[in-house]
Amino acid sequence: MQEAFVTLADIKAAHAAIKPHVLRTPTMRSDSLSEHCGVPVHLKLEHRQTTRAFKLRGATNALRQLSEADKQRGVAAASTGNHGRALAYAASLQGIRAIICMSSLVPANKVNEIRKLGADVRIIGNSQDDAQDEVNRLVVENGLVMVPPFDHPAIIAGQGTIGLEIVDDVPDVETVLVPLSGGGLIAGIAAAIKALKPKVRIIGLSMESGAAMHASLRAGHPVNVEEQASLADSLGGGIGLNNSLTFRMVRDLVDEIVLLTEDEIAAGIFHAYAKEREIIEGAAAVGIAALLAGKITLNGPVVALFSGRNIDMEQHRRIMAAHYSEAVPCPA
C-alpha cells in the first residue's frame, strides 16, 4: 500500500464521533443467496440508515470538523440526491444552516422532501451546473462551506465507518461488495478493512453505462463520461477532473471493478424484495446483482452492502410487476 490518504485512525475517530447521530445498521445472513453462491452471503442493511442512505455518515462527520465560525456561516451543496438529503438533515440536527441548490428540472416532490428536512432550498437555472455555480457564488460571496459528496477526507472517513461494522459483524469475511460512483464509499470502506484485514477482497460495482471511475482507472487519470439514465441513478455522474483523493484510493485499494447491465440491476432489486423482503434502490442492488449473475468468483464468506432505498416507488412497482409476471405460476 502507498501513502495512507485516510487512515484507520481517522475512520475510528469518525465512528466514535458520529455514533450518537447515525444508526448502527445490522448485517443479515441471506439464506437464498448463500444457497445460490455456495458460500455464506451476508447483507449489510445500510439502506435502513436515517435519510435512507449511508451518506448521513459522511455528512455528519464533515460537519463535526467545521470550525465554530464555519458553522455560523453554514454549508452548501448542489445535490438533489442522497448527499443533499443527508447534509440537510445532519445540518438541521446541529442547528447549522444548509443551502441546497437545485435546478428547476428537479421534481417538486424531491424539492419538498429536502425542504422538509429543514434546508434552505434554492431553485437556480436549468441544470446541475447552474446549481453548482450558485453554490460557488455562496462560497465566495457569503463564506458558506461547500461539503462535497465524495472527494473529501471527512466524507471518506465517515463512509469508512461501515467497514469497521462489517468486520465486527462478519470477522471471517473474505470478499466485500460495494456500490461505486465517486468512490467515497468504497475508498473509506477499503481503507478501514484493508488496514484490519489486508487479505479481504474489496470489489466495486457500477452500471455498464457511464461508469466514471472505471473509465478513469482505464485511462490512468480522471476522465468525463457521458451520463446515461440508469436504474442505479445514485451511481451516475463524474468523479471530477480535479479529483484529489478517491481516484488514487480506489486505484490503490480496490481489487476489482465489475459492471452490471440494467437487466441485472433490475433482477437485484427484485431479489431483494421477493427473497429478502427489502426495498432497495438500483445503486444498492449492484452487489447482489453481480452475485445472481455469477460475475464474481467466491471462496468464502461475502458481504454485500445495501447502500440506500430512495427509489421512486412507482418505478419499484413496475419492476416488481414485470418480474412477477415472468415467474412460473405456482399451483394453488
Ligand X SMILES: *Cc1c(COP(=O)(O)O)cnc(C)c1O
Alpha-helix residue ranges (DSSP H) falling in 176-261: 184-196, 212-219, 246-253
Nearer to ligand X, 54 or 270 (CB): 54
What element of type H or E holds 6? none
How far from 1 is each of 194, 268, 271, CA to CA, in Å? 9, 33, 36
- Residue 185 touching ligand X (CB under 6 A): yes
Stretch that binds ligand X, among 29-37, 72-80, 92-100, 277-285 (CB under 6 A): 277-285
Nearest residue to ligand X by CB is 308
Query: Minimum distance between the CB of residue 53 and ligand X, rounded to whole angstroms?
Result: 4
- Residue 279 touching ligand X (CB under 6 A): no
How far from 121 is each of 70, 78, 103, 112, 171, CA to CA, in Å? 19, 10, 10, 9, 43
- Residue 82 touching ligand X (CB under 6 A): yes
Q: Which three cell numbers stand for residue 71?
A: 458553522
Site size toward ligand X, by CB under 6 A: 19
Locus of grid cell 470489489: 203
- Residue 265 touching ligand X (CB under 6 A): no
CB 83 within 8 Å of CB 77: yes
- Residue 307 touching ligand X (CB under 6 A): yes
How far from 61 is each of 153, 157, 226, 330, CA to CA, in Å? 10, 8, 31, 49
What element of type H or E holds 306? strand 302-306
Query: Minimum distance between the CB of residue 39 and ligand X, rounded to whole angstroms?
Result: 24
**Burial annotation 112-139 (CB, 10 A radius, 16+ → b, else e):** ebbeebebebebbbeebebbbebbeebe
What phi-psi label fits residue 287: left (phi over 0), alpha (psi between -120 and 50 degrees) or beta? alpha
- Residue 283 touching ligand X (CB under 6 A): yes
Query: Minimum distance between the CB of residue 308 and ligand X, rounded to whole angstroms?
Result: 3
Query: Minimum distance between the CB of residue 280 and ligand X, rounded to whole angstroms?
Result: 8
- Judged on CB neighbours under 10 Å (0-12, 13-18, 19+), 331 is exposed
Nearer to ligand X, 40 or 159 (CB): 159
- Residue 276 touching ligand X (CB under 6 A): no
Nearer to ligand X, 53 or 100 (CB): 53
- Residue 55 touching ligand X (CB under 6 A): yes
Stretch that binds ligand X, among 2-10, 24-32, 129-137, 278-286 (CB under 6 A): 278-286
Alpha-carbon distance of 205 to 257, in angstroms, equals 6
- Residue 308 touching ligand X (CB under 6 A): yes
- Residue 181 touching ligand X (CB under 6 A): yes
Among 89, 150, 270, 273, the residue binding ligand X under the rule CB under 6 A is: 150
Alpha-carbon distance of 332 to 31, in angstroms, equals 25
Nearer to ligand X, 79 or 175 (CB): 79
- Residue 234 touching ligand X (CB under 6 A): yes
Nearer to ligand X, 40 or 204 (CB): 204
- Residue 182 touching ligand X (CB under 6 A): yes
- Judged on CB neighbours under 10 Å (0-12, 13-18, 19+), 39 is middle
Nearer to ligand X, 142 or 218 (CB): 218
Residues that bind ligand X (CB under 6 A): 53, 55, 82, 150, 179-186, 234-235, 281, 283-284, 307-308
